[in-house]
């Protein structure tokens, strides 16, 4: 495993970080708690020390699973990354979308990062995680209803209290990063990035490189599409958000699989799976600090961790990028 310092901090993260969204079941058609705990522990056994979660993942379930999984591990040997600002239990803030919880009940998502809300969320997360501090505390989505200064003042207070080590953001554009940075040291930005979704290369990546900010790439496997294991007519479980996602149309699955066939010889040369090749490509891209990768079981977690053992040459990266330039998806 490799470890990289996050931005301008002494916080070192494993380049393959366990992404615990699917562990919470919400929007993934449910979860098996024991399997998720075992997956996190298997990842740790293979050098994955960083775990990224959020309160909204299963409405608290993902954080509880993470807490259980790390309960027997010395706290200073793992880095807990969690979030705030996406609430399902209040109608305050900015309505984002309607959803259903793991039990099929209707819930509404609100972006809300007012000071008192942030302080409450932090206490709730600490309790669910079974810890007294969070290594990286990230606003989940920008909240257009709360002044950024107010949200960042909460970060100041939490850091003074020792409840968080560092503050970060997710899903911020460059202008939003600049604004937040006026009030608190923002050490990283967590954004979607994969072979199929590279828009951050235009402005977010150059800005973060220039200003010493880390980039946490989420969905590097494009939610499973880049594993090569999906086929047209893919059957998704009830409640799985991918069923209506344009990336998973039959035609886009066909086009993606054709691309993966072209780069498979590179994976084969490294005795690697397509998923491992994709993860390694991601963490070798300019400005990318780590890749967040989910796993449903021990085997997936172990395979993901082993992606860090691969080293791609400049020529192999160029070959992959050349094939990507030829790939066109119909996203509507």
The pair of three-digit structure tokens given for residue 330, joined into one six-digit string = 């119909």
**Choice between 230 and 66, residue whose per-residue pLDDT is larger:** 66
Residue 320 falls inside a structural domain: no
Which pLDDT score, from 0 to 100, does residue 31 have?
Answer: 59
Between strands 106-111 and 94-100, the pairing is: antiparallel
Of 149-158, 170-179, 233-242, least confident by mean pLDDT is: 233-242
Domain range for 303 is 3-225+278-310
Which pLDDT score, from 0 to 100, does residue 26 have?
Answer: 54
CA distance 274 to 320: 12
Which pLDDT score, from 0 to 100, does residue 197 have?
Answer: 96
State the burial class of residue 102 (Cβ atoms within 10 Å of its Cβ: 0-12, 13-18, 19+): middle
CA distance 315 to 313: 5
Residue 130 falls inside a structural domain: yes
pLDDT digits (tens, 9 = 90+) for 266-320: 999 999 999 999 999 999 999 999 999 999 899 999 999 999 999 999 999 999 9
134: confidence class by pLDDT, cuts 50, 70, 90: very high
Which pLDDT score, from 0 to 100, does residue 265 have?
Answer: 98
How many domains is the chain built from? 1
Among candidate residues 296, 79, 288, 80, the one with its CA nearest the CA of residue 192: 288
Q: Report the CATH number at residue 40.
A: 3.20.20.100
The pair of three-digit structure tokens given for residue 77, joined into one six-digit string = 């040997």
Average model confidence (pLDDT) across the chain = 94
Contact 195, 320 (CB under 8 A): yes
Residue 31 falls inside a structural domain: yes
Residue 269 falls inside a structural domain: no
Residue 137 falls inside a structural domain: yes
Residue with tokens 């594993």: 227
Residue 236 falls inside a structural domain: no
Residue 332 falls inside a structural domain: no
- Active-site residue set: 57
Of 55-69, 103-117, 234-248, least confident by mean pLDDT is: 234-248
pLDDT surpassing 80 at residue 238: no
Q: What is the mean pLDDT of residues 38-49?
A: 97
Residue 300 falls inside a structural domain: yes
pLDDT surpassing 70 at residue 29: no
Q: What is the mean pLDDT of residues 53-72?
A: 94
The pair of three-digit structure tokens given for residue 277, joined into one six-digit string = 């090749």
Question: Helix/strand/coil (H, E, C) string of 134-165?
Answer: EEEEEECCCCCCCCHHHHHHHHHHHHHCCCEE
pLDDT cut 70: percent of the chain above it: 98
Among candidate residues 35, 23, 97, the one with its CA nearest the CA of residue 62: 23
pLDDT digits (tens, 9 = 90+) for 170-218: 999 999 999 999 999 999 999 999 999 999 999 999 999 999 999 999 9
């Amino acid at each position: 495993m490799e470890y990289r310092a996050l931005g301008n901090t002494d916080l070192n993260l494993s380049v393959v970080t366990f992404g615990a969204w699917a562990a919470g079941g919400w929007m993934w058609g449910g979860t098996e708690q024991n399997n998720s705990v075992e997956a996190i522990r298997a990842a740790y056994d293979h050098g994955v020390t960083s775990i990224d979660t959020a309160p909204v993942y299963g409405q608290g379930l993902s954080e509880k699973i993470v807490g259980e999984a790390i309960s027997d591990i010395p706290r200073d040997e793992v880095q807990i990354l969690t979030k705030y600002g996406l609430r399902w239990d209040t109608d305050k803030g900015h309505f984002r979308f309607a959803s259903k919880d793991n039990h099929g009940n209707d819930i509404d998502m609100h972006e809300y990062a007012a000071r008192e809300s942030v302080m409450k969320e932090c206490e709730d997360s600490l309790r669910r995680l079974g810890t007294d501090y969070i290594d990286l505390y990230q606003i989940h989505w920008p909240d257009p209803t709360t002044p950024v200064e107010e949200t960042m003042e909460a970060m100041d207070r939490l850091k003074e209290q020792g409840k968080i080590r560092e503050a970060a953001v997710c899903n911020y554009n460059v202008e939003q990063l600049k604004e937040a940075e006026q009030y608190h040291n923002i050490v990283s930005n967590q954004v979607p990035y994969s072979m199929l979704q590279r828009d951050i290369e235009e402005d977010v990546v150059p800005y973060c490189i220039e200003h010493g900010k880390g980039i946490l790439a989420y969905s590097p496997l494009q939610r499973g599409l880049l594993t090569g294991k999906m086929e047209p007519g893919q059957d998704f479980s009830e409640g799985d958000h991918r069923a209506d996602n344009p990336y998973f149309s039959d035609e886009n699955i066909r086009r993606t699989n054709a691309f993966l066939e072209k780069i498979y010889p590179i994976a084969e040369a490294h005795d690697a799976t397509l998923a491992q090749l994709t993860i390694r490509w991601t963490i070798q891209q300019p400005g990318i600090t780590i890749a967040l990768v989910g796993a449903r079981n021990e085997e997936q977690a172990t395979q993901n961790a082993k992606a860090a053992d691969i080293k791609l040459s400049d020529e192999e990266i160029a070959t992959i990028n050349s094939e990507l330039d030829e790939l066109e998806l119909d996203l509507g």
